[in-house]
Amino acid sequence: RMPLKIEPVTKHFSAVASGVDLGSPIEAAIAVQIEAAMDQFAVLVWRDQPLDDEQHMAFTKWFGPLDPGLVSVTKRGSRFNQSGFIDIANVGEDGSILPRDNRSVTGSIANQLWHTDSSFMQTIAKYSLLAARVIPDSGGDTEFADLRAAYDALPDDLRSIVVDLIGEHHALYSRGLLGNDYTEAELALIPPARWPLVRKHPVTNRKVLFTPIHISRILGMSVPESRMLVNELIEHATQPQFVYRHKWRSGDLVMWDNRCTLHRGRRFDLSQRRDLRRTTTMQDDTAVGTAIANDSAQG
């Protein structure tokens, strides 16, 4: 049996993983090694692993309970024969490319803003696993930023500003920024979640600058001041030295740790098919409310 092989992209962030067939059941010991690599590199790229949905789900389940994402809001009919998948594609239920003004297409353009999956939930999203089926001829890369390195590199003045701040994350805020409209009822479906701007990774204990675009305001600050600060922090965190850019090939599976990264998609030609599908897991010991958030901000 081939062992898990890890080839770092940069010394501390992102790696290419190989040597394990993700389409077959893996052993617990391998899952533990994969987690260790995730704790070190935060993003793992698997090439030439064309998984079907069942294989993708079976692999996902090693890494925690499923996170449903925005499913309760978007109510989009599913293309998948099993639940738990988040559709990252401009493809309709009948397999056709959706028109560029389709509501699901316009909403998902917000994935091109720097974000963390499900930070608007008061549960902690752990890993996202995104699999590529069909990739457009050009464009549509996905970028990842290392929020551990971003925290470590904060200038002193910014570090002292963010230290005790708490952000309020709202599920549809980033979509609204781009001009998507939602009804009051839709907006109310997922209440905002609160997280400190400085969180700690539960395994590595490293501090993380947790500033996804889902933050619509910061407690104790005016809305304009909050939004400008979030912009500045995202700008800091996404400087080239903290970013890995993934150029997709069909059959890739990329997994990332939402607890210490931001990511964004890049523009592509919406008249072309781009079919990716994602699963996301939750941290097992997630508790409800801000108590755990405050704990994780301390020390």
Nearest C-alpha neighbor of 163 from the set 297, 295, 261: 297
| Beta carbon of residue 101, minimum distance to ligand OGA (angstroms, whole number) | 19
Q: What's the Cα-to-Cα distance from 294 to each of 115, 197, 218, 231, 234, rounded to whole Å?
A: 21, 10, 14, 23, 21
Q: Does 263 interact with ligand OGA (rule: CB under 6 A)? A: yes
Contact positions with Mn ion (CB under 5 A) in 103-122: 117
Q: How many CA atoms does the CB half-sphere of 241 hold within 13 Å?
A: 7
Q: Which partner from the list Mn ion, ligand OGA, none does 150 bind, CB cut-off 5 to 8 Å by kind?
A: none
Q: Which partner from the list Mn ion, ligand OGA, none does 88 bind, CB cut-off 5 to 8 Å by kind?
A: ligand OGA
Among 18, 49, 55, 142, binds ligand OGA (CB under 6 A): 142
> In the sheet where 193-196 sits, what is the strand order?
193-196, 166-169, 215-218
Contact positions with ligand OGA (CB under 6 A) in 62-101: 88
Q: Which partner from the list ligand OGA, Mn ion, none does 146 bind, CB cut-off 5 to 8 Å by kind?
A: none
N-terminal to C-terminal alpha carbon distance within the chain: 43
CA 97, 269, 252, 204 torsion: positive or negative? negative
Number of residues that bind ligand OGA (CB under 6 A): 10
| Beta carbon of residue 211, minimum distance to ligand OGA (angstroms, whole number) | 16
| Beta carbon of residue 145, minimum distance to ligand OGA (angstroms, whole number) | 12
**Six token digits for residue 239:** 């400087």
Q: Which partner from the list Mn ion, ligand OGA, none does 113 bind, CB cut-off 5 to 8 Å by kind?
A: none
| Beta carbon of residue 111, minimum distance to ligand OGA (angstroms, whole number) | 4
| Beta carbon of residue 27, minimum distance to Mn ion (angstroms, whole number) | 29
Length of the chain: 299
| Beta carbon of residue 118, minimum distance to ligand OGA (angstroms, whole number) | 9
Residue placing its CB nearer to Mn ion in the complex, 110 or 154: 110
Close Cβ partners of 136 (under 8 Å, ≥ 6 residues apart): 268, 269, 272, 273, 274
| Beta carbon of residue 272, minimum distance to ligand OGA (angstroms, whole number) | 13
Residue placing its CB nearer to ligand OGA in the complex, 55 or 119: 119
Q: Which partner from the list ligand OGA, Mn ion, none does 34 bind, CB cut-off 5 to 8 Å by kind?
A: none
Number of residues that bind Mn ion (CB under 5 A): 1
Q: How many CA atoms does the CB half-sphere of 93 hold within 13 Å?
A: 5
Q: Which partner from the list Mn ion, ligand OGA, none does 142 bind, CB cut-off 5 to 8 Å by kind?
A: ligand OGA
Q: Does 87 interact with Mn ion (rule: CB under 5 A)? A: no
Which residue minimizes CB distance to ligand OGA?
265
Binding site for ligand OGA (CB under 6 A): 88, 111, 117, 128, 130, 142, 263, 265, 276, 278
Binding site for Mn ion (CB under 5 A): 117
